[in-house]
Amino acid sequence: MLDQIARIADAGAAEVAAAATLDELRAFETRLLGKKSELNDLKAKLGGLQPDERRTVGLAFNDARARLEGAVESRRAALATAHRAARLDAERLDLTEVVAGRRLGHLHLVTQALERLEDVFVGLGFTVAEGPEVETDWRNFGALNFPPGHPARDMYDTLYVDYGEPGATLLRTHTSPVQVRVMTSQPPPIYSVMPGRVFRQDTADATHLPVFHQIEGLVIDRDITFAHLAGTIDAFTKAFFGGGFASRLRPSYFPFTEPSAEFDIIRPDGTFLELGGCGMVHPNVLANCGLDPEEWQGFAFGFGIDRLAITRFGVDDMRDLITNDVRFLRQF
Ligand code: DAH
Three-state DSSP class for residue 161: coil
For the CA atoms of 147, 152, 156, 161, the dihedral, rounded to the nearest 10 degrees, stands at 10
Q: Residue 83: how many CA atoms within 13 Å on its side-chain side?
A: 10
Q: Is the pLDDT of residue 251 over 90?
A: yes
Which segments of 124-204 does DSSP mark as H helices, in order?
137-140, 176-185
What pLDDT score was predicted for residue 316?
92
Quickly state the pLDDT bin for 104 (edges 50, 70, 90): low
Least confident of 88-102, 195-209, 260-274: 88-102
Single-letter code of the amino acid located at 160 = Y
Cα 238-217-146 angle, rounded to 5 deg: 135
Chain segment 183-194, per-residue pLDDT in tens = 999 999 999 999
- State the average pLDDT over residues 266-292: 96
Percentage of the residues of the chain whose pLDDT score is greater than 70: 97
**Ligand 1 near 255 CB (within 6 A):** no
**Ligand 1 near 195 CB (within 6 A):** no
What pLDDT score was predicted for residue 97?
60
- Best residue for ligand 1 mutational test, from 208, 216, 224, 289 (most atoms within 8 Å of Cβ): 216
What pLDDT score was predicted for residue 105?
75
Contact predicate 293/283, CB 8 Å: yes
* Whether the predicted model's global pTM rises above the 0.85 cut: no
For the CA atoms of 237, 258, 133, 212, the dihedral, rounded to the nearest 10 degrees, stands at -40
What pLDDT score was predicted for residue 239?
93
Average predicted confidence (pLDDT) for the chain: 92
Q: Is the pLDDT of residue 276 over 80?
A: yes
Least confident of 100-109, 125-134, 315-324: 100-109
Quickly state the pLDDT bin for 154 (edges 50, 70, 90): confident
- Best residue for ligand 1 mutational test, from 228, 254, 305, 306 (most atoms within 8 Å of Cβ): 254
Q: Is the pLDDT of residue 100 over 70?
A: no
Chain segment 29-74, per-residue pLDDT in tens = 999 998 888 888 888 888 888 888 888 888 888 888 989 999 999 9
**How far apart, in whole angstroms, are the C-alpha atoms of residue 194 and residue 155?**
21
- State the average pLDDT over residues 84-109: 78
What pLDDT score was predicted for residue 172?
98
**How far apart, in whole angstroms, are the C-alpha atoms of residue 31 and residue 269?**
90
Single-letter code of the amino acid located at 224 = I
Q: Is the pLDDT of residue 95 over 80?
A: no
What pLDDT score was predicted for residue 332?
86
Q: Which amino acid residue places its CA nearest to atom 8 of ligand 1?
A: 302
**Ligand 1 near 213 CB (within 6 A):** no
Q: Is the pLDDT of residue 96 over 80?
A: no
- Best residue for ligand 1 mutational test, from 157, 176, 178, 286 (most atoms within 8 Å of Cβ): 176
| DSSP one-letter string for 102-127 | EESS---HHHHHHHHHHHHHHHTT-E
- pLDDT higher at 169 or 150: 169
